[in-house]
Structure 1
Amino acid sequence: MPPSLIQSCSSGALLMLLMANLFLWEKVSSAPINASETTLNDLKDLFDNATVISGKMAELGFAMRKEFFSNSFSSDIFTNIILDLHKSKENIIKAFNSCHTVPINFPETTEDIRMTSFEEFLKMILQTLLAWKDPLQHLVTELSALPGCPYSILSKAKAIEAKNKDLLEYIKRIISMVNPAIKENEDYPIWSDLDSLQAADKEIQFFALYMFSFCLRSDLESLDFLVNFLKCLLLYNDNVCYSGF
């Protein structure tokens, strides 16, 4: 029976699995990787922390989205928005495609995942974290200034912003050890909806909040999956990682 994702292995076995797995990825096989046992142990520690943070971020994203729907501050407007969106499939598709991180092509099927290189997964994570860095700062600023905004929502936004910064630092450290060829200033999608978030018109502003929380929740769940998946690829063989699909 293959080991679970949390089952421990000897450092020597982990090193062999790491090297075997990395050579499965065409684009990574040529990248300089110093996979000493010390490096592998350091990577495991980094990924242990990264997965904890990504998991907490996903929980917070879900909780904040839920709070917008349940708190009287925004529940009526959010309910009306979702009812309007569900009047047609085209509205839903248009709303989903308006997320600023859509250009980051997350794999959507098992085949997509198998065809995506390790390097590309790392870039996706880095680009997503960078793409949300400034928007999250703006969200905290605007919610802080928004009359009647409950602390239960603001506190979650602040926590997500802080953890996004923390996870970004862990991912940068992982990249520096696994594939330094990936640049820290990797191109990433730019968010351009600040005007709507600052709009004096309440309907425009709350629709911006609706879309922000929708896109954020979706991306945080994708991030959590990718970080855990990469940890699996680094520490175990690909058959173990794909067994859940």
Structure 2
Amino acid sequence: MDSKGLSLKGSLPLLLLLVSNLLLCKSVASLPVCPSGAANCQVSLRDLFDRAVILSHYIHNLSSEMFNEFDKRYAQGKGFFTKTINSCHTSSLPTPDDKEQAQQTKVQPGVKENEVYSVWSGLPSLQMADEDTRLFAFYNLLHCLRRDSNKIDNYLKLLKCRLIYNNNC
């Protein structure tokens, strides 16, 4: 194996560690929900939605940044994008196709019994000896993270509009 392949192979675990650190720690300071640690404080639904929307937007921006950086450094000229269409493990989850469909969605809180969730099966690809297979697995993972974080960000904003502002946004 040449030195380029060896350094790239060694940098992938480092990249994964960096990605997790960016998502968890980058310029994030946790704020107490209740000031001064008050035991019986209450936070308004509007404040909770404001925090959730800010965090979801931040996470989507970070995931987009990570995807773009990975694409620029490792995926140029490899044709990965054409392979990623509908290849996210979350693609099978029913979600609205556009804003109009999302606005028609009924909001029903609670957990459904016997719900089937998609499982990501890409871990074996990250452990393959073939470099292009590993790079595509990372590319696909970051692509799906960006796609899903965008959906979550948009749906949270729509839900906030619906519940807090009575669809008057």
**TM-score (normalised: structure 1):** 0.47
Q: What is the 5 A alignment of 1:26-105?
A: 42-71=44-73, 74=74, 78-82=75-79, 85=81, 92=82, 95-105=84-94
- CA 1:232–1:185 in 2, change beyond 3 Å: closer, same or farther? farther
Cα pair distance change 1:195/1:219, threshold 3 Å: same
Structure 1: unaligned runs, 5 residues or longer: 1-37, 86-91, 120-178
| Amino acid paired to 2:67 | R
Shift of 1:211: 0.9
In 2, Cα distance between the equivalents of 1:107 and 1:58?
Answer: 19
Alpha-carbon displacement from aligned partner over 1:87-133 (angstroms, at most 9, x marks no partner): xxxxx3x63221000112221134422331122xxxxxxxxxxxxxx
Give distance in 2, aligned partners of 1:107 and 1:210: 25
Alignment of 1:89-128 (within 5 A): 92=82, 95-119=84-108
Cα distance between partner residues in 2 of 1:80 and 1:47 = 41
Q: How many pairs does the alignment contain?
A: 129
Q: 1:196 aligns with which of 119, 125, 143?
A: 125
RMSD: 2.4
The offset of 1:209, in angstroms, is 0.9
Unaligned runs of at least 5 residues, structure 2: 1-40
- Residue 229 of structure 1: aligned partner: 158
Distance 1:110 1:70, change over 3 A: closer
Whole-angstrom CA distance in 2 between matches of 1:69 and 1:236? 39
Question: Hey, what's the Cα distance between the residues in 2 that align with 1:207 and 1:193?
Answer: 10
> How far is the alpha carbon of 1:215 from its aligned partner?
1.1
| Deviations, residues 131-163 of structure 1 (Å, cap 9, x unaligned) | xxxxxxxxxxxxxxxxxxxxxxxxxxxxxxxxx
* CA spacing shift, 1:225–1:193, aligned 2, 3 Å: same
**TM-score in terms of structure 2 length:** 0.67
Give the helix-richer structure, 1 or 2. Answer: 1
Letter in 1 for 2:146: R
1:236 deviates by 0.9
- Determine the C-alpha separation between the residues in 1 that align with 2:153 and 2:115: 20
Higher RCO by CA contacts (8 Å cutoff, separation 6 or greater): 1
8 Å CA contact 1:96, 1:215 repeated in 2: no
Could you tell me which amino acid in structure 2 is paired with residue 205 of structure 1? R
